[in-house]
Chains A and B, each alone.
Chain A
Amino acid sequence: MAPYIFYILAFLLIGTAMAVILHPSPVYSALSLVVMMSLLAVYFLFLDAHLIGALQIIVYAGAVMVLFLFVIMLLNLQTEPQENQRKTIRNVAVILCAVLVGELCYFLGRWGSQGELMMSQQTLPEGFGSIGALSGRLFTDFLLPFEITSVLLLVAAVGAVVLARR
């Protein structure tokens, strides 16, 4: 991936991510999130992970965010008024964000000094990013996490059915 593509994408990505938080209208926030998810998919495409890129669009931009928008429209959420009563939440959020940024800087600095962030130019292994290569790893090396995730999803689905029945 050429550096200038990376920077253009990163700029757009952070811009849309900030729009998600800062825009007062829930629909615009959700749409910004859709654009952000799609831009992430573009990242994957440039990194030769075509399958992940397609899945990113199908699952996040296509399915999850459509449901978000659906719920926002169904509940007819309006533009949120800027209220002062949310000051406590905002303060807590600022503190937590500061902690997060601090952690990120600390670890990035540590790894950077050890030279682990410097990626060497490597040729891609045969079939990289293809469905065969990915599922091969998924069903051998990462079988347990994969199955645990599927059980988790099953629990969520059953839970949704139980809640809907009430």
Chain B
Amino acid sequence: MTLIDLAIDAILVLLVIGMVMNLGGLLLWVERKGSAVLQDRIGANRAAILGKMPFNLGIINTLVADPIKLFTKEDFVPPGADKLLHTLAPIVAVVPAIITMLVVPFGDVITIGGRTIELQAAKLNVGILYVLAMVSLGVYGIVLAGWSSNNRWALMGGIRASAQMISYEIAMGLSLIGVVLTYGTIDLQQINRAQGGLLGGALPNWGIFYQPIAFLIFLTAGIAESKRAPFDLPEAEPELISGYFTEYSGAKQATFMLVDFLESIIVAGLITTLFFGGWQVPFLERDGLHFPWGGFYPLPSLLVSLTQVGAFTIKVAFFCWLQIMIRWTLPRFRYDQLMNLGWKILLPLALVNVMVTALIVLVVQSMK
């Protein structure tokens, strides 16, 4: 590996992490404004620079004011808490969330100066398993936060979170098996490439048309994994104050908020990659636009690459928005409803989906 390859890899990694973190910050604003729109309020609009100055910059102002407020607040560790784990928990929670997106391809290839770069930060051939591994590691931060706070509500929140995440991980993993069976690979870039072209001459050849049930299960389990409403039992305010991060303040609490947003970005990224063609744009191929009626419009390779990256970004942003809308639309589940949904509905449905997909794959293979 030459120095240039190393530099390219480093740039890709930093690019993905930068994109994810910035989108996370942006989502905080979308959430505040979006919830206001849904509840017929105006929402955050009073963050003016230097008090009464006329510098009300709208979005940017709120975007900057919120993190500054959170990060400059007093950081308080309760006297009864386990100091080491209390400090470690937000870090343990945020690291898997940041690095999961590295494996998601955000574009096909880009050719710069005769060098073809694969637009995927971590080119792992076990992509889906890596995602599942990181998701399962994400539980630790939450559980440790709940336990180390030495507060019974925080502990309840932590226990709820771990039970919920373990339950929904199973349905999530099984729904992914349907996708893996369809494409015959666990490499996310290969799954993406397989979704190019058209289905029946009109529809984009996306995973949702092959695995609609897996999509619904994955979306549900994904929202449950990111502990957002209607699955936010671990931080149910009326019962548990604020759940596992009751005893957190300042930057550490902001980190837990960020983890929630990062997880919804991960869910959005995976839904895009697995079910909505990832960076694939209908009709757009490597050399230009191919229309089903025979039209061909050539485009420069660089423009195609950038369009695909843009398409991926827009799709991810859409599914982030969808999750925020779901969050502010649906009321919170009761705990037994949550467990029933996970174990008695999603799990059997995912199993049936795996069986039916396997059967269809076998039939199609034997017909060839």
A interface, CB within 8 angstroms of B: 27, 31, 34, 50-51, 54-55, 57-58, 61-63, 66-67, 69-70, 73-74, 76, 130-131
Closest Cβ of chain B: how far from A64's Cβ, in Å?
10
B interface, CB within 8 angstroms of A: 85, 124-126, 129-130, 132-133, 135-137, 139-140, 143-144, 146-147, 155, 158-159, 162-163, 165-166, 169, 186
Residues of A within 8 A of B85 (CB): 27, 31
Q: Is the interface of B mostly helix, strand, loop or mixed?
A: helix
Q: Are B139 and A73 in contact (CB under 8 A)?
A: no
With A57-B133, A58-B129 given, name 12 new contacts (CB 8 A). Answer: A31-B85, A55-B129, A61-B137, A62-B132, A62-B133, A62-B135, A62-B136, A66-B136, A66-B143, A69-B147, A70-B143, A73-B146
The complex places the Cα of A55 from the Cα of B132 at a distance, in Å, of 9
Which partner residue on chain B sits nearest A67 by CB separation?
B166
The complex places the Cα of A69 from the Cα of B132 at a distance, in Å, of 19
Residues of B within 8 A of A130 (CB): 125
Residues of A within 8 A of B129 (CB): 51, 54-55, 58
Residues of B within 8 A of A58 (CB): 129, 132-133, 136
The complex places the Cα of A27 from the Cα of B136 at a distance, in Å, of 18
Residues of A within 8 A of B143 (CB): 66, 69-70, 73
A–B pairs, 22, beta carbons within 8 Å: A27-B85, A27-B147, A31-B144, A34-B140, A57-B136, A62-B136, A62-B139, A63-B136, A63-B166, A66-B136, A66-B143, A66-B162, A66-B166, A69-B162, A70-B143, A70-B162, A70-B166, A73-B143, A73-B147, A73-B155, A73-B159, A131-B125
The complex places the Cα of A67 from the Cα of B166 at a distance, in Å, of 8
Which partner residue on chain A sits nearest B143 by CB separation?
A69
